[in-house]
Structure 1
Amino acid sequence: MGASGSGKTSMRSLIFSNNPASLTARLGATIDVEQNHVRFLGDLVLNLWDCGGQDSFMDSYLTTQRATIFKQVGVMIYVFDVETREMGKDLEYYRDCLAGLQQYSPDAAIFLLVHKMDLVREPRLTAFQRKKQELQDASGDAVISVLGTSMYDESLYKAWSNIVHTLIPNAAILTKHLQTFAGACNATEVILFERTTFLVIASSSPTPTSLDTSLELEGTTGIPKLDAKRYERTSELIKAFKHSCSRVREEFRSLEMELYDFTAVLDEMTRNTYVMVIIHDPTIEIAAVKLNIRLARRKFEELQSDSLVS
């Protein structure tokens, strides 16, 4: 949901259709509701409703289509243009949508995206905090998550990884087994990505969905502080690399990097996922990591199937 021109269709195109940000300007305005059945993790299907933001459509959603739009909602994503001059009207529509959601889907998660942060001239954090407080005030007692996003950096992947993570059944079980796998590989961290979107599904870190917090490992290991934005930056870079491969009619399969301070291996884990293993121990060979991945594939296929069934 969100006003016309706020960027809803563009972000959907970038995340789920693998289109680069430079091509989203060609997209036209959404008419009424565009429904997409996005196959995610193979057998899990996300029914994504992209609702046109013109006043006539919004009025229809909130009156004659109210039950249709707000019934059986898992997540409502409301997009706000950070530089809109009609914030008052946006907030009014948002409150009405919030009321509809509380009436028909009171357990739905609510994500508010303050979009187009790349256009902000003042310090971004200052502008975001002001908007965040404004949205929290407008939300009353509703539990919301507010995230700043842009089409041109990793923030959009951060937001959508958080959103999708709430929809994956038993994601905590995947995290637990990733921690076991990380121990077997003596890895600093292991990250599981969805194959098509390269959104983060789970991580071996203690707080896999807390993408604002960096993981700092200290002591005698000599392991440096890991970047707080490492997950979403990896998603963004791999998606760009995959797009480059497709332009030369090649298929992306795996990636190995051996640098002076760490080793990274990105390879298929299951039919629907990729796994990235980060290692700071220079004595561990890439071949050993790839062997561990091959040995773990059957177990993670079973975990994924069990998770989707439950």
Structure 2
Amino acid sequence: MKKKVLLMGKSGAGKTSMRSIIFANYIAKDTRRLGATIDVEHSHVRFLGNLVLNLWDCGGQDVFMENYINSQREQIFRNVEVLIYVFDVESREYEKDVRYYQNCLEAINRFSRDARIFCLIHKMDLVQEDKREQTFREREQDLLRRSHPMPIMAFKTSIWDETLYKAWSSIVYSLVPNVQLLENQIENFCRVCEGDEVVLFERATFLVISHYTQVTHSDPHRFEKISNIIKQFKLSCSKSQSQFQSMEIRTPSFAAYIDVLTNNTYIMIIVSDPSIQPAATLMNIKAARAHFETIETGRLQ
């Protein structure tokens, strides 16, 4: 099950850096050595079960953008599931960037009418912190207006914090088959375990696929922060020739368990009830593995 994903935007917007962090285990500071993308770089990323992301990272130099829109129009924009368009928030050619974006929308509307469109307002770390939300909202409203009548979703992103994971988790979530069934089963599992919260992560990227929460939490970015932390920890393990398998964290107020669930996922469960024994939670995870494997491979509909 291949899903074609276009990653587009002007040269220097940060497309290849974010792709390398999410899918190639780069850390932010190492992306400085990446060169400019020439024409289109293709990569196939196996995600959940049979889902393969056919990622087209399109170089953003003017000559390439003109080719995509004119001579390569059908080849680039046919059979697209998702268009991700990256805008550099500090670009001095914003109007020109938007013109290219609108040309891409016209081509998507013709050749892939059902494609989902995501706009990433990138490099937000370069904006003064107290002005980031306002800057993002202004850009978002402008892009919504210029994209009409095509629906879009916009995210503010930076390679230096959890916003990158939030955006890409939402993008991948839109591509996951059986996602409603998966969410229902995550909810059931959380209730059976009497957990506060259960989160499902993709194994390689640690992007959030699904979650269920029974207890209100004050931090809306906690999943993306955890994705970032665990992925950095996994990289540290691999540098010392070790493999990350599972983690158990206990405090006076809660216990957190992160463990392998299926061949392609990790699960995290948070438990605050002190009467629930750790062995019972770990046994529930073990017992649930075969069931979630059948959902992931599509054998349970």
Measured against the shorter chain, the TM-score band is over 0.9
Counterpart for residue 78 of structure 1:
85
Letter in 2 for 1:21: A
Of residues 94, 111, 127, the one that matches 1:104 is 111
Report whether the alignment pairs 1:38 with 2:45: yes
Q: Give the distance between the partners of 2:177 and 2:50, measured in 1 at CA.
A: 12
Report whether the alignment pairs 1:16 with 2:16: no
Letter in 2 for 1:110: I
Counterpart for residue 285 of structure 2:
293
Of residues 189, 194, 197, the one that matches 1:186 is 194
Runs of 4+, deviation exceeding 2 Å:
none
Contact 1:116–1:149 under 8 Å retained in 2: yes
Counterpart for residue 221 of structure 2:
229
Tell me the CA shift for residue 201 of structure 1. 1.0
Aligned residues: percent identity?
51
Unaligned regions of 5+ residues in structure 2, if any?
1-7
Of residues 208, 227, 234, the one that matches 1:242 is 234
SS at match of 2:298: helix
Q: Give the distance between the partners of 1:41 and 1:137, measured in 2 at CA.
A: 35
Q: Give the distance between the partners of 2:110 and 2:272, measured in 1 at CA.
A: 51
For residues 98-137 of structure 1, what are the structure 2 equivalents within 5 Å? 98-121=105-128, 123-137=131-145
Counterpart for residue 98 of structure 2:
91
Letter in 1 for 2:31: T
Contact 1:188–1:279 under 8 Å retained in 2: yes
User: Quick check: 298-307 or 182-191, which moved more?
Assistant: 298-307
For residues 52-63 of structure 1, what are the structure 2 equivalents within 5 Å? 52-63=59-70
Letter in 1 for 2:56: W
Report whether the alignment pairs 1:144 with 2:148: no
Of residues 166, 172, 177, the one that matches 1:158 is 166
CA-to-partner distance for each residue in 1:232-261, whole Å, 9 max, x for gaps? 111000001001111111110000001121
Q: Give the distance between the partners of 1:99 and 1:283, measured in 2 at CA.
A: 58
Unaligned regions of 5+ residues in structure 1, if any?
206-214, 218-224
Contact 1:255–1:265 under 8 Å retained in 2: yes
* Number of equivalenced pairs: 293
Q: Give the distance between the partners of 1:135 and 1:199, measured in 2 at CA.
A: 26
CA-to-partner distance for each residue in 1:66-113, whole Å, 9 max, x for gaps? 001110000000000000000010000000000000000010000000
TM-score normalised by L of structure 1: 0.92
User: Quick check: 27-36 or 282-291, which moved more?
Assistant: 282-291
Q: Give the distance between the partners of 2:227 and 2:73, measured in 1 at CA.
A: 36
Tell me the CA shift for residue 126 of structure 1. 1.1
- Give RMSD over aligned pairs: 1.3
Tell me the CA shift for residue 216 of structure 1. 5.8
TM-score normalised by L of structure 2: 0.95
Counterpart for residue 211 of structure 1:
none
Contact 2:178–2:295 under 8 Å retained in 1: no
Q: Give the distance between the partners of 2:178 and 2:287, measured in 1 at CA.
A: 22
Contact 1:216–1:226 under 8 Å retained in 2: no
